[in-house]
Structures are given as C-alpha cells and as structure tokens.
A and B are shown apart, each in its own frame.
Chain A
C-alpha cells in the first residue's frame, strides 16, 4: 500500500472540490485532490454559471440586490426550515467569490435570471439577476457547457498553487482515528491501495443522481418510473456514504425537482415544443395549474409530482401548431433552440415512427385519450369547459393569462406526456456553517468537512429558482468556506 501525507485532502475534483482545494492552498495548506474520473469539473462541465450577490458585475449592471436581501428572500422561500447561519454566510461570500473567480481569469458574460414570472405572479415568484453566466472561451452566445471555461481556469489555478491532483483514483473510505478524520483510503488506476493521511478531509462528490437504488431508498422516487432525473455518470453517493459510515448525521435528501421527457436530450425539440401554455391536464383529464406558469420548472415539477401517476399531459391542436410554426412559440426558454417549430415536423414524424412512447397524435379527442391513457370522460368535460372559457376570453379557474386562452378543437391533436425530472440530488450530510460535518447529536466530527451537493441542505423542499445559479453557487462557496477552515485547522504557523 502506497503511503501519502499532506495537510488537506479533498475527495473529488468537481466544482466544490476544486473551490475547496484552491481555497485551502491559497491559505497555505498542502492539498491533494482525489478524483475518480480523469477530467476535473464533474457535473459543472454541463453548467452555465454560478450565483453571486453583490459582485462587481452586478454593480456594473446596476443590480441593487444585496446579500442581506437575498438571504431574507431565501429564508422566506424555505420558511426558515434550513440553517440560517449557513445561508447567511453563503450569500455574504458569494459576491466576493465572483471576484475571486475573475482574478483567476474567469470571464462572465453578464448576469441573468433563470426565470421571469408572468405579470400576474411576479410578486411571488420572479427571478433575481444572480446568475453569472460564464463567457464561452471562443466567444459567442452562452449555452450549456459554457462553465467549462471556468473549470479550466480553476484547474490551472490549482496547478499553479501546486495542488496535487490524483485522477482516476477513487476514494473508498475515510480513515477515522479516535473519532477524528485523519485521511482516506483510495485506489490508484492500477488498483493499488493508497493510504493518504491529512489533518482535514473535505468531501465533495456531487450527490447520488446516478444511483437508482439510493434514490429509491432516500427519496422514494423510482428512476425511470416516477422520476427522470439527470443521471450524471459517477454520481453514486460516494461521499455521502463515506460520511455516514464515519458517523455523520443524516440530513434528509431531496431531489432537485423539475420536469422533462424521458431521454429528453434525444427528443429535445419535442421537449421544448410542448413546454407551451397550451392545455395541460393530469391522467384524469383535469387541469391542475395555470399553464402560463409552466416555464417555472420547479413549480411545475412539484405540481406534476402531486398528480396521479406522477405525470401530466401537454396538448395542442392543429390550429395552435400552425400558429407556433408561423409566429414562434408562446414561451421561449434559454435552454431550447429558438427555432423549435422549424424542426418540429421532422422530429415528430421520426419519433412517432420509432414509437417514442410519451407522444401520440390523434384525429379525435376520443382517440387521443385512448392513445395517451387519459380518462376520456374527464378529458372531454375538461376540453369543453376550457374551450368555453377560451371563447369567453377568461380562465375562471386559474386566471391564466388571456393571451394563452387558445381552444383545443381542430384535429389532429398532439399530446406529449410530461414526467417528473430532477437535476440531481440534494443534501444528505449534516454540516454547520463552517461546513464541518456533524454527527447525529450535532457535534462536530473533527477533521471532516462536506461541501457542495452532498451537503446542500439549504434549499428546503424546492430549488430556489428565484435566486438562480444556486446549485453552482452553493458548490463554489461551501467549497471555499471548507477550504479556508480546513487550512486554518491544518496549517501551523
């Protein structure tokens, strides 16, 4: 067995692990990062950018949101069910973290929000401009994956600080001695065991989105049946399991809910095309929310998760399709292509021919209900009521924006089932505001820290889309907090 010795060990080189490693090294610690894949950045390679409040960029854009205001918004959104001190420390650090990244050479395109609420609900659910979108290295418009430019700079920074990166070297467990974390056992690419010892260990392995058994066990959802979450390969819950094994307290795990089509990336055009404020019903044929809210993926995901069978159906008719093709979609998203309906026929025909299961087309409502598996009586009644309201120009039930009151009357009809989705998992390991791991009695386990998704217990039951960029934001800032504290613990001056 190979023996290694350092000050601070970080388990996994995703966004939070890199932030922790850099922060610890900047504070004088010798750092080793063990990563099981051969690329840094983990899930952040798919992302676009982190949250920050009070950054120079926001000032430049005259965005006046303060850290205190963000903190209060967050706490009201979560009904104070989460650790206020940790939330406070996170937001108050987040603006400076943007500067920290800029000093490394990361460039931001500006600051965005993920969601702008329709006027009628703006008071309750509007998004703040907190999302710092990373400027793609080659220029141009940002899209998914543009955060890789940030990961590159962070990797370079870590190397400059002589952080030792051990790639393809998964950690198996934490070495505990006298109730203290003193190192880890890892396995190098040839399968040889490594015993690495340090004064502090920081866990940052990104949750368990790719571990269906653990999802079932911890959240009750069944992958591929009741939930279709992003399953980023490698997110097996390693860090959470290691922490629990070492005596860490359990914080309830949740899924970061949204909604999507099964295998959505191979049906991306349809994924976007049916995210329109047309008619949305549940399996009984009943509407269940004002459809003008469906761009709010968090709320819609939550709503679908409360429907029978965890599904909903998005339906439009030929007239509406014709309108979408001519004038473009009612709701644009920054994730889907803007010329969705130019490609609709292609993808629709192909997917119908391939028997893509969530979709169907029918000439009559009766046939549609049969094919989609919706209760016919309920659907017929609902459409009748809905069409009457469209004619009257007012949604008496949910007061949906009248611009979207477009009847469902002319066949063929198009229907797409929507499933509960999720970005990943959240939380699991109990930590304090210094990101120190706590046992079930809320006592600190010396030498052990946990950050990022593994320890993200601050969202309550739903992703706080009102303060967008929160997943990456928490990863970066909790990572930095841990790195600084661990270095303080490890380095003797």
Chain B
C-alpha cells in the first residue's frame, strides 16, 4: 500500500507501523524506546508525528499504516512533543558524558546531537544510583538509565528469560530483578541481550570483558575468537544440545579436518576464554566436540566442494596436523598435492608424540582417510628432497611442515650414560612397540604434557616406579592440571620444584640427584634464575632417565631456507620463506605448540599458497546451511549453578596396564546436558543495531 510521509510517496506493507515504514523508506524519525527486534510500546514519544485528520501528535511506532495516509514528521505539534520528551529524558540523565564508557557509541548521545540539548526547563533531578558490579559479566550503571524499557522487553519477550523488569523503589521506578536479588538467583542466562539493546551506558559488559584490541564480534564471542581456527563454537554446541551430532560435526569441519582428534587432545584455549568461567567453570567444549565427532557420520561430505584441477603441483613435507591440513585445503582447491612423510604412518606428533591412550590410532586413521579422499597423495617412508630440488622437479610450491621431532638433551652430568632416553625417541618407539626392558624405575625430567606422556607410557610399558622431576612448582607447571591429576592417580611420583643436579652411575644410570628449589623465575633478560634450598639434596635411585625438556626441528639446516634461532624455519606474515614459492607452517616455524595452532597455520598457509598459485585463496566452506538460531531461550531451573560435567575415565589401576583410551566419550544425554550450559553469547550478534540519524 502507499502512503505519504513528508510529501514523499512511500510503499509499505499492511500491518507495519508508520515508524518502520518511514525508516524502511530511508526517512529518519527519531526514536529511542523503539528497537527493530522489540515490540513497540510508545513510551519515549520521540517518534511523534502528525497525521492528517488527527488532532494531536501521535507516536508513529504505535500507529499502523493505512492506504493514502498523510504523515508529517516535523510538524509543530510533533516537534513540541518530541522536544519536551527529549528534555525530560535529559533532565534525569547525567549531563557529563566524559566518564561514560559508552561515549561515542551511545544512541542517546547521537539523539541529542540530532535534536539538540534544549534549555534546562526542568529541575535537574540527580538520581545517582550506585554502580552495581556485583553480577558476573553484566554491569549495571543505572544512573544513566532513561527507562526506555528495551532491556526489559529483550529479557522478557525476545529471550523469554523474564529476569529484568521495572521495579518500584523509594527513589522511583528502576530497572532490576524482583526483590533486588542477584541476576544469577533471578535465573539470568547471561545472554547479554540487555547489554545489546541498551541505548545508553546503563547496562554494559563487565570491565574484564572489554578488550580494546579485539573487534566487537571477537569480544562478544571470546571462545570462537580464542580458537586459533575460529571454530564456530556456540553454533555447534547448540546442535549438540539438540542431539544433532551430524550437524555439529559439519560446523566444526567448516574450519578443520580433525574434529575427533582434537576432541581427544586439544589444549582448548576456547575454554579458558569461555564467559561461563565467570559463573564457575567453563563449558567442556573439547569433550563435547569429541562426543559429536564420535558418531563418524559422513553427512558433512554432501556439501564438501572440490574444485576442478588447476594443473598445479604442490609438495608438502611432513604429514603432521599442519601439513595434512594444508594439503587437504590445497587439494580441495584443485591442486595436485603430494605429502612426503619420513615415518611409516602419517600423523606427525599426533601419531608419534601423543600416546595412544590419549589419541587412539583409529581416530587418526579415520580422519587422515578423509583427507586422502579428496585426492591428496601420501608418500610414507619417504624423505623429501630439499625444497629447491622439489621446485626443479616440477612442483609449483612447497610447504615445509616437519614439526619438532628432536628431543633436547640438557647439559647435565651423566647425560651420556646408558639408560638415558630422549622424549621424542621414547614416545615414538613406544608407538612402534619397539621398547623392551624398560627396567623397574624411571625418572622423567620436565614438567610439561610431554613429560606426563612419557611417564604414563613408561607405566604402561611395565615400569614399577615412575618419577617426574621439574623445576616449576606444581601450580606453575605447564602440564595441564588434568594430566597431572591423572598421572598422580596412576601412581606417577611428582617431584615438582626440584632441580636436577646430575645423573649418577658409572656406565649405566643408577639414580638422579635432586635438590629443592627455593625460587625459580626469569630475570629481565629472560634468563632463568634458580635459587636452591641448602641441605635438601637427595638421590632417587632409578635405572632409566627420560629427558622431556623440549624438542626442536630436526635437520632443518638441510632445507636451504633461512632459519630463525638456529633451527626454526623463518617465514613472513604470509608464511613465505626466503625462497620464492616455499612456505613453512606449524611447529617447525613456531617451536612446539598445540595441535590446533598447527592446524590453523596449515589453513592459513594453504590460503597463501593458493594465492601464490593464482587462486583466490578462499578456502572457506559452508558444509551446513546457515540457520538463524532461535533467539528465545526460556527459563532453565538454576541455570547459573549448572555444574560442568566431565566424561568418565577408566579406573587408574586398570588403565595403567594398557594403552586403551583413558577418557570415555560423553553419552548423548551427558553431552546434551553439558551443552545446555552454554550462554550462547553469539545470539547477541543477531540483535539488530538500530540505525542512527547519521546513517540515513
């Protein structure tokens, strides 16, 4: 239907309000209590207009359009109403904006810019309300509240959580919970919709949540931002909550080809970033991913795209997570990819560095098969030629992704004795079933996850007594807390906060001399400083010592590319080495990091290499049609106190005798329950941003 606004003919749909019809046609009408996602209530009166045939100015948000209607936005009656309305709002709002965190991003500020700050005809009513920082994640600064009620409508109608409402207090009407109880007690789901719709700085993210460096989207959904591959975590958790594992896997697979492997061993920085930490414990994101991936559905392959052949050839050196990931995406872009792997199986550290009780062989085999399926050629037991030679042989580009496979031997007395083993050799040989006669007593030196991998593997290979010694105190160790606990349950004896002085023995290891550490820190030159406790020396009798104090790339000097810090391949921000066409990614560049970082680097290097080969570098894919998440959350009993679930573990006494997977997968019910705890922070990004006057 047609109507006239400000002498301009515009088209509108039946049932639309005049306000929405005008805004849709690019005609600005000021409005504050109205919000595109919320029901209009006609509260603020800023949207007043005059309509032919009506005596008084009316709020345009409350009047439906009619055929042939004649509307004037800036008529004198409407302007008078609007002016008075604005004056009343400003009379109760603090006059100084300089200290307000919303400065520059405030709808009210934009509004007074448009309408002007009128004369102060009304007695200024100072209604100082103390700032309430007592709730997690959400900050209330109600001195600035203009009582537009958007937060109330968002909470009640949009989300169905029904926590916020207008409350009568001695000082007047205020926004709050009934009985002024905490948000958690009131049943808040901490979705942040109230923050999103607040036009002023009255409801804001808590101070700790504001990172100036990050973009808005990254700040609002920190788990996704923290994940090096930027997996859409809230989206797949929603599917898990519904029991739709196939869809959840497809979402994960949009960003990486190893969902189940990561579900087993990811260092899950996403959980550290999870906003639910503020309410207690984070979501068990990693283990939920494993649960979803464990159904081994091939549904996601339906939408997998493989481009036509480009005729370009790519060589990838090293079939670890970085190399395989890059190979996968490059093959999907139509390039002919060959992966050279020096060992008998692909997988890199995931295969030879991480014991199978954490990451079973079948998991790796399955996910590597999916990668090979798109046409990646894998050559195992093959030492690749140097990149320059590969280029001459007809490869158009080469990726170095050989990881860090050489263990570090500390310059320690006795480090040449028989019975001294390096972490990398030990774990690899254990995987290959090549370790015989490990002896009875083993000492692992080092305090990271690899030290635990070595210690727990040693137990499984029949060692009777396994020690770990490290400089750091238990709370400063780099090993994950659960690793330390699981090791302890299996009987690993931990000597944290100890320095290793020497390995004793004549030709064969007989023991390790330890001394207690008083203080251990890094000085301003990043040099380690160790202060020891006098008279605390002791010798622990052992017959094998495993060094697990770091690892480095092997034989990178033969690659013919520029190196960093002695061993590491040097690349620029585009993953390119100094040799044109030769790229580097993963641990061989960065030093030992996490699997997910290697995968992310594999993706990014694939983008750069595709561009180098003349492609567009677009490896993004949509394996599942984008759905719009239901904005309605409803109430959940005791939501704020729901406790984190953990998958069951095998009994320590039983598990330490075999390489069976220690951790079990969540059952479907457990997974649904756990996923239900997600705050769904990403729903905030679906809330429409009202357009300000300067955008019309």
Contact = CB atoms under 8 A, between A and B. Distances in A.
Interface of A: 36-43, 45-46, 136-141, 143-146, 148-149, 151-152, 155, 159, 165, 167-168, 187, 189-191, 230-234, 236, 263, 265-266, 268, 337
A265 B98 contact: yes
Contact of B112 (A148, A231, A268): A148
Nearest to A138: B118
B117 A141 contact: no
Nearest to B86: A138
A145 B98 CA distance: 11
Contacts of B104: 36-39, 42, 233-234
Interface in B89-120: 94-106, 109-110, 112-120
B475 interface: no
A138 B119 contact: yes
B694 A148 contact: no
B677 to A, nearest CB: 26
B117 A146 contact: yes
Contacts of A40: 113, 694
Interface of B: 83, 86-87, 94-106, 109-110, 112-121, 124, 128, 212, 214-218, 692, 694-695
Interface of A is mostly: loop
A143 B218 CA distance: 38
Contact of B96 (A41, A167, A187, A265): A265
Contacts of B214: 191
Contact of B694 (A146, A165, A168): A165
Contacts of B114: 152
For A37, A39, A42, A151, the residue with the greatest tally of chain B CB atoms inside 10 Å of its CB is A39
A138 B694 contact: no
B117 A145 contact: yes
A187 B218 CA distance: 12
A141 B119 contact: yes
19 contacts: A38-B105, A38-B692, A45-B97, A46-B96, A136-B118, A137-B117, A138-B87, A138-B118, A140-B119, A141-B119, A146-B116, A146-B117, A152-B113, A155-B694, A191-B215, A191-B217, A233-B102, A265-B95, A265-B96
A141 B120 contact: yes
Contacts of A236: 212
Contacts of A152: 113-114, 116
Contacts of B97: 45-46, 145
Contacts of A187: 215
Chain A to chain B: the 9 pairs with minimum beta-carbon distance, closest first:
A140-B119, A137-B116, A37-B104, A138-B118, A191-B215, A265-B96, A233-B103, A148-B113, A230-B98
B83 A138 contact: yes
Contacts of B96: 46, 144, 265, 268
A140 B214 CA distance: 42
B100 A143 contact: no
Contact of B116 (A144, A148, A234): A148
A168 B216 contact: yes
A205 to B, nearest CB: 12
A24 to B, nearest CB: 19
Given A190-B215, A265-B98, A37 B113 contact: no
A49 B487 CA distance: 69
B117 A39 contact: no
Contacts of A39: 104-106, 109-110, 113, 692, 694
A233 B117 contact: no
Contacts of A146: 116-117
For B86, B112, B695, the residue with the greatest tally of chain A CB atoms inside 10 Å of its CB is B112
Nearest to B215: A191
Contacts of A138: 83, 86-87, 115-119
A206 B525 CA distance: 36
A40 B104 CA distance: 7
Nearest to A267: B128
A236 B213 CA distance: 11
A137 B115 contact: yes
B211 to A, nearest CB: 12
A143 to B, nearest CB: 7
Nearest to A37: B104
Given A138-B87, A265-B98, A37 B105 contact: yes
For B116, B118, B121, the residue with the greatest tally of chain A CB atoms inside 10 Å of its CB is B116
A266 B106 contact: no
Contacts of A337: 124
A397 to B, nearest CB: 36
Given A145-B97, A191-B218, 8 more contacts: A38-B105, A136-B116, A138-B87, A139-B118, A152-B116, A187-B215, A190-B216, A265-B99
B442 to A, nearest CB: 48
Contacts of A155: 113, 694
B608 to A, nearest CB: 13
B107 to A, nearest CB: 9
B216 to A, nearest CB: 6
Contacts of A144: 95-96
Contacts of B695: 167
Given A232-B103, A265-B96, A38 B112 contact: no
Contacts of A36: 104
B212 A136 contact: no
Contacts of B119: 136, 138-141
A105 to B, nearest CB: 12
For B113, B217, B692, the residue with the greatest tally of chain A CB atoms inside 10 Å of its CB is B113
A34 to B, nearest CB: 14
Nearest to B114: A152
Nearest to B214: A191
Contact of B113 (A41, A140, A189): A41
B277 to A, nearest CB: 22
A165 B691 CA distance: 14
A148 B113 CA distance: 5
A265 B214 CA distance: 30
A337 B98 CA distance: 18
Nearest to B101: A233
Contacts of A266: 128
B126 to A, nearest CB: 9
